[in-house]
Amino acid sequence: MRQIKFFKHAGSRIPLKFKVWLYFVLFTIVVFALLWLFQILFLEEFYERMRISTASKCMESIADSYNSGNEEEFYRKINTMSVDNDFCVEVLDKYGNQAKKNHVIGDCIIHEKFTNLRNFKDKIDESNNGIIKLRLKNPRSGYDMLLYGCTIGIKECDGYLLINAVLEPVGAAISIIKGQLMLITVILIVFAFVISLYLSKRIADPIHRITTSAEQLAKGDFNTKFDGRGYLEAKKLADTLTYAEKELSKVDTMQRDLIANVSHDLRTPLTMLKAYAEMIRDLSGDNPVKRNEHLEIIISETDRLALLVNDMLDLSKLESGKQKLTPSEFDIRGKLNEIIDRFEGLSEKNGYQIHFTPDEEKTVCCDPVKIEQVIYNLINNAINYTGKDKQVFVRQINQPDGVVVEVEDTGDGIEEEKIKLIFDKYYRSENHKREVVGTGLGLSIVKAVLKMHNYDYGVRSTIGKGSTFWFKISDVK
């Protein structure tokens, strides 16, 4: 097992450039090995098979031409095929006498002086199907010969067709091919080595450049340039890493903002807690009125700390997928009325007016606790950012395929380029009119809950007129 792991690690340390070059070289070696194998070792066998097949097909084709009754086509095929294929062709009448002779200059057993053509006629007559296929040796030249013969004529035998093909030894040809192939092999191997070196460098260079840039990115340099010139895949990789760099930069910025905001949100109430605890200890311990006043402030700041911690835990669970949905059926209009009633005390104390425009009763099926959290956070966000008139509008809009819930404020609105940042953690618009109540995580929780439900959501905003946050519950009865 240790050896296997070692080789795996060793293989992973081999540069891409060397691997590409090695693959090219191995490919070249395999190609030439196959070329030598089939060209040299099997050339003679391949030549004989092709010669036998050609002779057989030519005999059948010439015989078919005679049987078709077209004498001109018959003799044209004899002339053409004998010349094209280096065959000797002999046509005998039904008595075994020469009727038509046509052969190419060369070695031929049919027209040797010692050959008795009637012997071939007799062998054809004695065969079962009127066809003979013989392999003979020419006593004069010593070459192997193919001699094919058949009867011609449809109803009865009108004559005989003989075809002679020489199986010339290919040893000399192989020697010539070997020399030529050796020269070509040397040239192409050198050429392949040069090309493979060039291509391996061309392929590996973009990856090397991107890797170097990625190492800089890993060190925290978010201004790294990814150069993907060379080929499409490298460009796509560079573009993907550039996009990842931008996202990492945003995450880094958000992380810094998160730490700063959390530190501020924790430090302020902790400072208040300590200060008022010291005041109770040193000044108001014996004064019930002052003591109770200071204790109320301590309780209020403790509630803020608890709210911040709870929101952070809720968001962490939602984004990690640890929280699961528990859907059930409920009336959305009743739920909205219930939530708005909770803000009655805030409305009476600080002068906020929350207007609710309901639609007909509608039963929805989703997680009531989490949807309640979404609505509560949206209303709380509207209270923080509404205008001087302190008006907030909540609307229920029934649609055939769902229920849309809208929460509108009358604040300064949100700039177009900042709308996409609204749902980010700890993002706070600068357009609020008063001290913001909350942790800055409300809209992030809204986003996480609605994504879990797979519901559409968004915001419409007009500068100077306010913003409308909305979401659509698509699970309706």
Report the distance separating Cα 218 and Cα 216, nearest Å: 5
- How wide is the angle at C-alpha 397 spanned by C-alphas 396 and 402, nearest 5°? 110
- In order of 248, 262, 265, 393, 448, the CA distances from 444 in angstroms are 18, 15, 17, 21, 6
Q: Is the dihedral of CA 16, 21, 25, 27 positive or negative?
A: positive
Q: Which amino acid is at 41?
A: L
The per-residue pLDDT for range 187-233, each reduced to its tens digit, is: 877 887 788 788 777 777 887 787 888 888 777 777 788 887 777 77
Report the distance separating Cα 297 and Cα 309, nearest Å: 18
The per-residue pLDDT for range 138-189, each reduced to its tens digit, is: 777 777 888 888 888 877 788 888 888 887 765 556 677 777 777 877 887 7
pLDDT of residue 221: 78
The per-residue pLDDT for range 251-290, each reduced to its tens digit, is: 777 667 666 666 666 666 677 677 777 777 776 666 777 7
- The 10 Å Cβ neighbour count of residue 147 is 22
- In order of 341, 342, 354, 390, the CA distances from 348 in angstroms are 11, 11, 11, 12
CB 392 within 8 A of CB 461: no
Going by the DSSP 8-state scheme, the letter that residue 223 receives in this structure is T
Task: Sort strands 466-473 and 402-409 into parallel, antiparallel or unpaired.
Answer: antiparallel
Per the model's pLDDT, the better-predicted residue between 225 and 424 turns out to be 225
Report the distance separating Cα 347 and Cα 268, nearest Å: 26
Which pTM was predicted? 0.47
| Cβ within 8 Å of residue 147, ≥6 positions away | 109, 110, 120, 132, 133, 134, 135, 136, 162, 163, 164
What radius of gyration do the chain's Cα atoms show?
Answer: 48
By percentage, how much of the chain surpasses pLDDT 70? 79
Region for residue 438 given its phi and psi (left: phi exceeds 0; alpha: psi -120 to 50; beta: otherwise) = left
User: What is the arithmetic mean of pLDDT over 63-81?
Assistant: 84
Report the distance separating Cα 87 and Cα 100, nearest Å: 14
CB 58 within 8 A of CB 85: yes
Average pLDDT taken over every residue of the chain: 79
